[in-house]
Amino acid sequence: MGYGRKITGGKYHKFRKKRKFELSGVERKVKLGKVKNKIIRGLGGNKKTVLLSVDIANVTDPTTKKSKKVKITNVVETPANRFLARQNILVKSAIIETELGKAKVTNRPSQDGSVQAVLIK
């Protein structure tokens, strides 16, 4: 039998449509470029700042535990998808080239409104 059918051959039917809060949002890809952000209304009227493009990251040095705001020069690699790195798209766990050296993104820039990274030796 085909996908989504009972053993008798009859179809399964959804008992209801998705509610507004169950719908997925628009996928935002944070590109490397001049800082651009957008404020989005969330559940309960809460506001969320999302990034659209950015060229600055808050980089923490794990040895000294000090953070510094530095310029991002390039996206070196992205373990999630190698094509994202080619397009200079920032996602969590992406390796970025900064003025201090290579760093790994530790947050989700598309949902946080900033880029947090940890310096790699």
pLDDT digits (tens, 9 = 90+) for 52-78: 999 999 999 999 999 999 999 999 999
Pairing type for strands 56-61 and 89-90 reads: unpaired
Please classify residue 57 by burial: count the beta carbons closer than 10 Å to its beta carbon, then call 0-12 exposed, 13-18 middle and 19+ buried.
Answer: buried
CATH code of the domain made up of 27-119: 3.10.290.70
Instruction: Report CA torsion sign: 118, 91, 51, 71.
Output: positive
| Lowest model confidence (mean pLDDT) among 26-30, 35-39, 84-88, 115-119 | 26-30
Q: What are phi and psi of 118, to 5 degrees?
A: -120, 135
pLDDT digits (tens, 9 = 90+) for 78-98: 999 999 999 999 999 999 999
What is the band of 43 on the pLDDT scale with cuts at 50, 70, 90? confident
pTM of the prediction? 0.80
How many CA atoms, within 13 angstroms, populate the side-chain half-sphere of residue 77? 2
- Whether the pLDDT of residue 2 is over 60: the answer is no
- Whether the pLDDT of residue 1 is over 70: the answer is no
Q: How far apart are CA 79 and CA 72, in angstroms?
A: 18
Query: DSSP assignment of 82-99, as one string?
Result: HHHHHTTEE-TT-EEEES
